[in-house]
Amino acid sequence: MIIKSADFVTSAVRPEQYPETRLPEIAFAGRSNVGKSSLINTLLNRKRLVKTSSTPGRTQLINFFIINKAFYCVDLPGYGYARVPASVRKKWGPMIEHYLKERTSLQAVTLIMDIRRTPRAEELNFIDWLHLYRIPIIPVLTKADKLSKTRQNKQAQLIASALETDREQLTLFSAKTRQGKDRLWDLVEKQVSRVE
């Protein structure tokens, strides 16, 4: 996809703060510090459109971006990190659940996981929510550059079994090497052009 424009629109906590839109929307979710913001920047060819940080829990609001004036990308705050203050963690559940439930323009959630970690309860619970609200999932394994090709494949197999899905469903990605970027764009484009 050719990115002609990518602009920050607004940050929100509650539904009444979401931008009003009839445009399709893709959200990006995953554990704190997994690399959500970096992945969005890589996809959009922007170095600093979305703030990234080595401190987990940097993104605490729902951030909306508009791409080519045609669809929205949403950076969701990460879940499950012990070092994130309890007050922040407590707000996460209701904030995300409202978003998934109320955002009718949401076409799919890109679920970002670290290729080095086996999915745990947080991922599995989140996937249950997505199924409950009938939201398609694009599963991505990021930080692939941290592993050799052989280990990437081994981990992808392991994670696929943990998620009870096929290895082919998983997109291996790296914000550092841009591995997987084209494949992920294809998947995102399919979802934003889906007619309901």
| Contact track, Mg ion, 14-43, x by CB under 5 A | ----------------------xx------
Of 15-34, which residues contact ligand GTP (CB under 6 A)?
30, 32-34
Residue 59 interacts with Mg ion (CB under 5 A): yes or no: yes
CB nearer ligand GTP, residue 53 or residue 193? 53
- 71 forms beta bridges with 67
Q: Under DSSP, is residue 106 helix (H, G, I), strand (E, B) or coil?
A: strand
Residue showing tokens 């999915």: 119
Residue 155 interacts with ligand GTP (CB under 6 A): yes or no: no
Residue 150 interacts with ligand GTP (CB under 6 A): yes or no: no
140: its two tokens: 């991505």
Residue 142 interacts with Mg ion (CB under 5 A): yes or no: no
Of 127-146, which residues contact ligand GTP (CB under 6 A)?
142-143, 145-146
Residue 180 interacts with ligand GTP (CB under 6 A): yes or no: no
Residue showing tokens 């510090």: 33
Helical packing angle, 121-132 and 86-102, nearest 10°? 30
* Stated length of the chain: 196
CB nearer ligand GTP, residue 59 or residue 191? 59
Per CB under 6 A, the list member of 6, 18, 24, 57 interacting with ligand GTP is: 57
User: Which of 107, 79, 91 is closest to 14 using CA atoms?
Assistant: 91
CB nearer ligand GTP, residue 62 or residue 192? 62
Half-sphere exposure of 150 (CA within 13 A, CB side): 0
Q: Under DSSP, is residue 110 helix (H, G, I), strand (E, B) or coil?
A: strand
CB of 29 to Mg ion, least distance (A): 10
74: its two tokens: 């949403």
Count other Cβ atoms within 10 Å, centred on residue 118: 13
Per CB under 6 A, the list member of 174, 180, 191, 192 interacting with ligand GTP is: 174
Task: Give dist(CA 128, CA 31) in Å, integer.
Answer: 15
Chain contacts with ligand GTP (rule: CB under 6 A): 30, 32-38, 52-54, 56-59, 78, 142-143, 145-146, 174-176
Chain contacts with Mg ion (rule: CB under 5 A): 36-37, 59
